[in-house]
Amino acid sequence: MVIRGYKLLIEKDWRILMKGHEEKKILKVYKAKDNEEIIKYLHKFPNKSYKTNPYIRHLETLIDYGKPTGKYHIIQVKYLNTIFLLGTIVFTPGKRTLFFPGFQKLVIPHPKTKSIHEIHHITCEKSMKEGHLKFRNRKTQFPDFLTREINIYYFWFGLTIDKPEVLFKAPKHRELIKFPIKMKNDVDRRLTLIEEFCKVSLGFNIGDREIKQNQFLNFEFFLTPNQNYNTFDFLQIPLGSSNADFQNSETYPSMFINVKDDLSDISTIIRFSILPKNKNNLLNVRKSALFFHHIKPFKKSNSN
């Protein structure tokens, strides 16, 4: 299923924006540090800084240095009449795969210190056998983790969330982007690239399906070097989550999307299911969690 992204709004002459009532409105959102900046307003984003905005966090290197990280695929979740951001998949020229989560805050405790850290993005290397985390605080170091090889698939990681509202909602407010004056001749090119990246998104449509208090949303991320994989074989991979309370008599429906890299044979497959919580789940406290391997696998699953 394809969910069309919101049309990008670009103002090419910032002076028009800096007049009268509009000037006061904009300065409340963003105040330039000095005159050595070109002010551009880009989209309807609610945060004061794009660096803390999950909807365009993956565009930091393009905005700052003019270099795209790779090919971007925005992944959204539609629930009732609201569209939420699950995150952005990025395929880099070096055949690495990145995921920028669409959470207000996706945190994980450090395995040694147990302190909580906010994730910036998750990376899988070209071999698909090893992954690592990058954090908002660049000084934070975290152990690399191994993927799990299952035939031609590699289980990368899983995301569990308490409810859709944990995710970042589709933007409703304006965001201002600043570019250094020395880059003034390159601003239009960068904005054009950003516009192209934001046109179309992939997504899951939950519709009006009821999500009970004792249930949670489970997303599993797989990689495969074969974009023409056998769907039936993929569906034989058991569901798994440390937060789930599987019952032997139950079958748990799932749906998935295939995110393809246009420049290679690599695909990221994201599988989604609604699962029952177990008594030891962490979602009531953290609202979101990561897991890196299957725990308590359950083989009875089918696809909607």
pLDDT (tens digit, 9 = 90+) per residue, 224-266?
998 888 888 888 888 877 778 888 777 888 899 999 998 888 9
Prediction pTM value: 0.77
Q: pLDDT confidence of 49, banded at 50, 70, 90? A: low
Residue in 165, 150, 83 with CA at minimum distance from that of residue 294: 150
pLDDT at site 270: 96
pLDDT digits (tens, 9 = 90+) for 54-93: 777 788 788 777 787 888 888 999 999 888 999 999 999 8
Residue 122 has pLDDT above 90, yes or no: yes
Residue 80 main-chain phi, psi, to 5 deg: 55, -120
b/e sequence 165-182, b meaning 16+ C-beta within 10 Å = ebbbebbeebbbbbbeee
Q: pLDDT confidence of 114, banded at 50, 70, 90? A: confident
Q: 68-77, 139-148, 212-221 — which one is most confidently predicted on average?
A: 212-221
Angstrom distance (rounded) from CA 128 to CA 251: 30
Residue 12 has pLDDT above 70, yes or no: no
pLDDT at site 17: 35
b/e sequence 237-262, b meaning 16+ C-beta within 10 Å = bebbbbbbbbeeeeebebebbebbbe
Instruction: Give SS3 for 119.
Output: strand
Angstrom distance (rounded) from CA 73 to CA 76: 10
